């Protein structure tokens, strides 16, 4: 069972030590710990890693999906969106292209580009 609640990174000065969630009736629950940093760069790296873990934890609690499941769903939705856009453009061009508002097609294209990292 995965802990419910918002996860936040907790630390002591430059030494980030854990990602924690406050759970009603249980108090603070440690989600994970980072080793004590030996230098400022390592402390920053530990903090960044814990931020990512906390973010993944929170997204799971918001969506019910793990990061891997979201990545797979994103891939499937992107392919479906590209296929639908292509099919709709062919249909619209065949009939009355001058009477169609293509703004939504441009928005879909921008979303596709963003999802593919081309923007």
Per-domain residue ranges for the chain? Answer: 7-64, 68-115
The pLDDT assigned to 15 comes to 59
DSSP for the chain? Answer: -PPPS-EEEEEETTEEEEEEEEETTTEEEEEEE-PPPSSHHHHHHHHHHHHHHHHHHHHHHHHS--HHHHHHHHHHHHHHHHHHHHHHHHHHHHS-GGG--THHHHHHHHHHHHHTT--
Mean pLDDT by 10 residues, the chain (119 residues): 80 67 79 81 85 90 91 90 82 69 76 82
The pLDDT assigned to 72 comes to 92
């Amino acid at each position: 069972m995965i802990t419910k609640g918002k996860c936040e990174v907790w630390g002591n000065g430059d030494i980030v030590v854990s990602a924690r969630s406050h759970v009603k009736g249980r108090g603070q629950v440690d989600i994970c710990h980072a080793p004590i940093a030996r230098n400022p760069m390592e402390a920053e790296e530990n903090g960044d890693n814990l931020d990512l873990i906390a973010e993944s934890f929170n997204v799971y609690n918001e969506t019910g999906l793990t990061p891997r499941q979201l990545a797979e769903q994103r891939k499937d939705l992107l392919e479906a969106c590209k296929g639908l856009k292509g099919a709709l453009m062919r249909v619209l061009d065949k009939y009355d292209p001058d009477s169609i508002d293509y703004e939504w097609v441009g928005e879909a294209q921008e979303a596709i580009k963003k999802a593919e990292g081309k923007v």
